[in-house]
Structure 1
Amino acid sequence: MLQNFEATNNFKEVEYAITYPFNDTVISYDSEGKIQSIFSDMVWNFSSQVSQINRRKTVNFNFIKNDDKEIQNNLIYEAKIIAYGLLYAYTGSNSNKINQLLDDYSRIRYVIEAASKMNATLSNLHLNEELFKLIVTGVAEKSRQQIKLMLSFFKKISSFSNIYVNHNFTLSANQFNKLNSLLNSKLIEVSNQHLVIPTRLYSHIYNQSEIIFDEYLLHCNAIEAFAKKRSKVIEEVNGKIYYRSKNFKYNHKNEVKKFELLAKKYNLLTKIDVLHYLNRLSDIALSRILMFTGMRAGEIFNAPENCLIELKQNDRDIYILNSYTNKETNNGPMKATWITCSAVKKAINVLKNINKITSYDSSFKRENSSEFPLFLGRSDKLNSALYNFPLKARVRLDEAFEYFNFDFIVNKNDLDELKLTATESELEYYNVQLGRGFPINTHQFRRTLTVYAARSTLVQTPALKAQLKHLTRDMTYYYGNQSEFAPNFIAEETLVQTYKNEIHKYNNECFLEDVINTTEPLFGASGIRLQNSKNDPIVPMFLTDSKTALKDIKNGKLFYKRTALGGCNRKGVCDKISPLSVTACISCNDAIFSDRSVKALTVAKENFYKQIKLFDEDSHFALQLHAEIVAIDKVLNKRNIFCEANNA
């Protein structure tokens, strides 16, 4: 364990817990840097490191019970060293190690409770087939994803045998094979992407929310005065918070006169009605920020009240939104910035005013030295590591849109747009039908922003990488020429997956046009192979059905990319062609040429003839261009011969 020493110029030897942790090994710290949890504690508290509002913040070992106290104590110790290993020892992931532990907590509970039922310990599980059978029996009822996570969990804790010399949580090869077989026996679950919000509905959300913001800001002072008058007296007695109403007689009809139109429109009959209206209004304000940042809802909840910064650069207004993210950090939330626009200003002003009203009934009083959240909650308990104030806990967009009478009925144009970005199964999964309401959730705004940004071609890859916050280096490949060949990493369903699917769909559309639907014979090395397959009495499904081709492209069975000369089915990055040569492409085993290629090759040959006149006949450039022309003539002649034979 690392000890604290005063600063000195002398080196001092420090002992570390290189195998087992000690009872006083530090597990977590509080917001002031003081020790919060140590290894011997039965509850490990990570509340100062976890910024997500609704996230588990503790690891509790009190669930472990057994009549045999020795077995119980051994199981508690095993659960703790597994948790400690996931937190500090396992290095197979660059993700947040605290989140990794919290995610695996349910699996720790499951295997430890199984061991307790057998009156056994988990160590040397590879020798205890009865315990393993009990674990597998329970896992077999779970989904494929849960089985996959359990298999991953065992792979992690198997590595602990390198550091825990007296404990071995490794499965035997046969046990691993049984888990793998169980995994493979489950059908692969189809992952349905979040739907892109059609442009008409996207515009409707913006325009309708503008009206809602304007009508509130017109009456906000009157609503604030009403709320202040109706606020409760807050008292703290023996550490407990008590709220009591002021000893006033209220005349609601007179008090709402200054915002009477709003009160009638939304049926604001009591203070509770007003607070409900404000809560739904804050959800609409959050949707506006979602629209113009691509942030996660949790990242918006983390934002401070003074989050929006306006800058002037080259006579242009630049808007930056500051908040916190905990993605890919090992030390809890860190500050981050998002580029946005003036469209979020009104929403933030609305939220600031709602904060004033909320603070009248809050036991947490605002101090100048404290950073204030953009979404102040009404709880009397803290729920975030970032602020000394409670935060709003959740958003209900569907209820907010219904409260303010947003019209999300799908028309024919909406449905036609949706079919461009969603599969039939996805539309069926979300029950999208003509004349019925369109489903909306927070993550759809992230996907929608990305899809529209991608199609605009105005947003460059580095800007998107910075904006999305969760991108790994591999994810940037999604935006390049070879993005469809990015490594198959495990990640949450995010915006980047949208780009990958868009590229797959584009490549499939090109394959449909260039290969499946072409009436002219294909040529080129791979082109001839495909043409022979098309001519076969039994044609492969991917050469007749676009959906099958798309599925094969997504699964990595089929590769197709349109090139300047035609197409290519090479898997991976091309390392053959050079900027001054098309010969390598023409003679490549992966080349697929169609009638579109004939035009491209003819134009290329004409350009080479023009260029060759600019150089001496014996120059390297002239010789290279001549070789290119000969190669083009050769492939076009072969194509003509092939066409004649094919039509014979």
Structure 2
Amino acid sequence: MFASHAQRKGVIRRNIDNYEKLSIYLSPNGEAVSQAVCLPEKIAAAYFSEALGFIEKLHPYRHQISESYEEFSTKYTKIIEEKRYSCARIRRKYALKGIKYELDSLGVSFDYRGAWLSKLRGACYIVIAAFTGCRDGEIKSFNIDSYKEKKYAGIKVSVLHGNHTKPNVGGVSRETSWVTIPSVKKAIELLWDAFRFAREGWRSQAADIEHFDERHKFLRDIDSLFVTLPYLTGYQPRAGKQSLAHSLRTFVRSVDYRATREDVNEFDLLNPTREGDLKVGEILEVHPHCFRRTFAVYLVRNKLASLLDIKYQFKHMNIAMTSWYASQANLASHFDMMIDSDLQDEIAGENKNYTADIFYYLYNDAETLAGPEGRRIKNLRAEGDFTVYLSKEEILKQVEEGRLSITEHPGGYCTNPNCDRICDMSVCQYKVVTLKKARSLIPTREKLMAKYNAMLASGIDMPNVISKIYFEIRSIEKVFSEHNIDFDIFNGQDFHI
């Protein structure tokens, strides 16, 4: 694409039409690069709620899990060393004899290779990733001391401290923090304490490492949240990509959520480069980075955060990258509105009620009103015209029939049914200004006066602009007078109409 653009601009002469094939040819692994998957909301909700429930249930028993697994694995290892029972099922049976804690009711399963522990690790990873939006490397930098709580404006805020992996300075990652939820604390504690037996097993091996730097790295890896089982051959303390991928796959498959037609449609909408990858009835597999994009899309889609908020949380250098993560979110949000007719009806009903409330206030409750339409309403009141004193039900009926309409502006309301919101409110004949709106014009007037004086002082020859500012100030002062708001009259020094 870049090459084709460069050719059109005359930077290069040769035209390259099939840039997609070229990009695949030049890529390191010969594959096109697609954006990380964004999980459809129902699928994400199923995975996240299941993971949260799993953690809530097991968190109080995390120490018992570690002690029981230590006892089980020690017995199992001894059986292997003594070459007793060639059948894994029988080995497991004898290794489970005399286990101190009864954990079957919690769904805890014991096996020497740690399949159930892998599921636990997957659940904890999902909660941490889903509710921080962190990169995989940043999640792996967390440890038992990473979770903190701070008070901000009287509110307790959950924060995670870890290493920001991009951009590194001189190859060294920087420490930073991310906002999260309290449940992440339980996920971290469960991971740390349930795998305590594994850490102790690895720690006992550290003394055999002679080289100081290697031993230091080994011990640092042991303090990671994600560790492997020390008695399995070919493993290092810190769980690698394959181990975590297996953990995520194990947990997701245990949830057994099957994609519906609605999920597939949403998946294709959110992931246009992967359209067709998810089929009805399939389980959507996850990988570490998909939680990051799902986090961004969900917040933008549901108007829970701005791109600037997410930029800070994601530690992006520029907002363009944040926008890339949140792509398709606004389209999905619009799609949600289109398919949710009940929501549309509810919003329409609320808008009508809101309009009726404003008219009722203008007609019956407002002590002072300004603006041409405001003065008309006041005059009708003074003349005793009871057609003004409508009930809320009567007003709502007229709103629903289209006979009453109102548009809110920064400086007041416009009752013109055809208002396009760009009219000049200083001369609008349909304008109504309430006392609250009038008070909001005080700083506006001050800014206009400062602008007016600055333009005169600088000698700018723009009489049309200056006169417009002058009349806007005068219009606001007229509103102040009608609401009995004290002010010093702007004299418009050195300006002649």
Class of the TM-score when normalised by the shorter of the 2 chains = 0.5 to 0.7
Could you tell me which of 403, 408, 415 is aligned with 2:257? 408
Q: Which residue of 2 aligns with 1:525?
A: none
Question: Is the CA contact (8 Å cut-off) linking 1:226 and 1:255 kept in structure 2?
Answer: no
Q: Which residue of 2 aligns with 1:360?
A: 200
Q: Which residue of 1 aligns with 2:383?
A: none
Q: Which residue of 2 aligns with 1:418?
A: 267
Question: Is the CA contact (8 Å cut-off) linking 1:284 and 1:400 kept in structure 2?
Answer: no
Counterparts of 1:463 and 1:310, CA distance in 2 = 19
Question: Is the CA contact (8 Å cut-off) linking 2:143 and 2:188 kept in structure 1?
Answer: no
**AA paired with 1:334?**
R
Q: Which residue of 2 aligns with 1:586?
A: none
**AA paired with 1:400?**
T
Counterparts of 1:255 and 1:212, CA distance in 2 = 26
Q: Which residue of 1 aligns with 2:423?
A: 605
Q: Which residue of 1 aligns with 2:174?
A: 334
SS at match of 1:328: strand
How far residue 245 of structure 1 moved from its aligned partner, in angstroms, is 5.8
Question: Is the CA contact (8 Å cut-off) linking 1:321 and 1:337 kept in structure 2?
Answer: yes
CA distance change for structure 1 residues 444 and 183 in 2, over 3 Å: closer, same or farther? same
How far residue 256 of structure 1 moved from its aligned partner, in angstroms, is 4.0
**AA paired with 2:40?**
P
CA distance change for structure 1 residues 605 and 215 in 2, over 3 Å: closer, same or farther? closer
Indicate whether 1:448 and 2:283 are aligned: no
Counterparts of 2:200 and 2:306, CA distance in 1 = 45
Counterparts of 2:229 and 2:49, CA distance in 1 = 29
Q: Which gives a bigger RCO, structure 1 or 2 (Cα 8 Å, sep 6+)?
A: 2
Could you tell me which of 116, 121, 128 is aligned with 1:289? 128
Counterparts of 1:245 and 1:320, CA distance in 2 = 46
Q: Percent identity at matched positions? A: 17
CA distance change for structure 1 residues 416 and 320 in 2, over 3 Å: closer, same or farther? same
Q: Which residue of 2 aligns with 1:375?
A: 226
Could you tell me which of 254, 262, 283 is aligned with 2:97? 254
Indicate whether 1:315 and 2:154 are aligned: yes
* Matched length: 322
Could you tell me which of 249, 266, 275 is aligned with 1:399? 249
SS at match of 2:422: helix
Counterparts of 2:228 and 2:109, CA distance in 1 = 23
Counterparts of 2:103 and 2:260, CA distance in 1 = 35
Larger-Rg structure:
2
Counterparts of 2:58 and 2:329, CA distance in 1 = 39
Counterparts of 2:134 and 2:19, CA distance in 1 = 36
Question: Is the CA contact (8 Å cut-off) linking 2:259 and 2:280 kept in structure 1?
Answer: yes
Give the CA RMSD over aligned residues.
4.8
**AA paired with 2:164?**
T
**AA paired with 2:325?**
T
Question: Is the CA contact (8 Å cut-off) linking 2:133 and 2:292 kept in structure 1?
Answer: yes
How far residue 451 of structure 1 moved from its aligned partner, in angstroms, is 0.9
SS at match of 2:62: helix
CA distance change for structure 1 residues 191 and 502 in 2, over 3 Å: closer, same or farther? farther
SS at match of 2:311: helix
SS at match of 1:319: strand
**AA paired with 1:426?**
R
Question: Is the CA contact (8 Å cut-off) linking 1:194 and 1:443 kept in structure 2?
Answer: yes
Q: Which residue of 2 aligns with 1:156?
A: none
Gaps of 5+ in 1: 1-143, 149-175, 234-243, 384-388, 479-493, 509-597, 627-648
How far residue 463 of structure 1 moved from its aligned partner, in angstroms, is 3.2
Counterparts of 1:278 and 1:300, CA distance in 2 = 18
Indicate whether 1:207 and 2:49 are aligned: yes
How far residue 406 of structure 1 moved from its aligned partner, in angstroms, is 0.7
Counterparts of 2:326 and 2:252, CA distance in 1 = 31
CA distance change for structure 1 residues 620 and 276 in 2, over 3 Å: closer, same or farther? closer
Counterparts of 1:185 and 1:416, CA distance in 2 = 25
Counterparts of 1:216 and 1:231, CA distance in 2 = 20
Alignment of 1:227-242 (within 5 A): 227-230=69-72
CA distance change for structure 1 residues 610 and 300 in 2, over 3 Å: closer, same or farther? same
CA distance change for structure 1 residues 183 and 254 in 2, over 3 Å: closer, same or farther? same
Indicate whether 1:498 and 2:341 are aligned: no
SS at match of 1:327: strand
Indicate whether 1:280 and 2:123 are aligned: no
**AA paired with 2:51?**
S
How far residue 461 of structure 1 moved from its aligned partner, in angstroms, is 4.2
Alignment of 1:9-28 (within 5 A): none
Q: Which residue of 2 aligns with 1:186?
A: 21
CA distance change for structure 1 residues 352 and 606 in 2, over 3 Å: closer, same or farther? same
TM-score by length of 1: 0.42
CA distance change for structure 1 residues 605 and 181 in 2, over 3 Å: closer, same or farther? closer
Q: Which residue of 2 aligns with 1:130?
A: none
Counterparts of 2:239 and 2:180, CA distance in 1 = 22
Q: Which has the higher helix share?
A: 2
After superposition, give the CA deviation of every residue in 1:285-330 in whole Å (9 maximum; x if it has no partner). Answer: 0111001100112211122221101122333111111111331223
Question: Is the CA contact (8 Å cut-off) linking 2:66 and 2:195 kept in structure 1?
Answer: no
SS at match of 2:156: strand
Counterparts of 1:288 and 1:506, CA distance in 2 = 24
After superposition, give the CA deviation of every residue in 1:167-194 in whole Å (9 maximum; x if it has no partner). Answer: xxxxxxxxx999x979959355565333
How far residue 411 of structure 1 moved from its aligned partner, in angstroms, is 1.7
Could you tell me which of 207, 213, 225 is aligned with 2:67? 225
Counterparts of 1:332 and 1:380, CA distance in 2 = 32
How far residue 413 of structure 1 moved from its aligned partner, in angstroms, is 3.4
Q: Structure 1 runs of 4+ off > 6 angstroms?
A: 180-183, 246-250, 503-508, 611-615
After superposition, give the CA deviation of every residue in 1:512-571 in whole Å (9 maximum; x if it has no partner). Answer: xxxxxxxxxxxxxxxxxxxxxxxxxxxxxxxxxxxxxxxxxxxxxxxxxxxxxxxxxxxx
**AA paired with 2:191?**
L
Question: Is the CA contact (8 Å cut-off) linking 2:131 and 2:181 kept in structure 1?
Answer: yes
CA distance change for structure 1 residues 433 and 182 in 2, over 3 Å: closer, same or farther? closer
Counterparts of 1:177 and 1:507, CA distance in 2 = 42
SS at match of 1:323: strand
Q: Which residue of 1 aligns with 2:484?
A: none
Counterparts of 1:356 and 1:402, CA distance in 2 = 24
Counterparts of 2:307 and 2:271, CA distance in 1 = 23
**AA paired with 2:44?**
Y
After superposition, give the CA deviation of every residue in 1:192-218 in whole Å (9 maximum; x if it has no partner). Answer: 333322222222222211332244335
CA distance change for structure 1 residues 312 and 186 in 2, over 3 Å: closer, same or farther? closer
CA distance change for structure 1 residues 218 and 341 in 2, over 3 Å: closer, same or farther? closer
Question: Is the CA contact (8 Å cut-off) linking 2:138 and 2:162 kept in structure 1?
Answer: yes
Alignment of 1:20-99 (within 5 A): none
CA distance change for structure 1 residues 354 and 417 in 2, over 3 Å: closer, same or farther? same
Counterparts of 1:419 and 1:186, CA distance in 2 = 23
CA distance change for structure 1 residues 192 and 505 in 2, over 3 Å: closer, same or farther? farther
Question: Is the CA contact (8 Å cut-off) linking 1:447 and 1:495 kept in structure 2?
Answer: no
TM-score by length of 2: 0.53
How far residue 409 of structure 1 moved from its aligned partner, in angstroms, is 0.8
How far residue 336 of structure 1 moved from its aligned partner, in angstroms, is 1.9
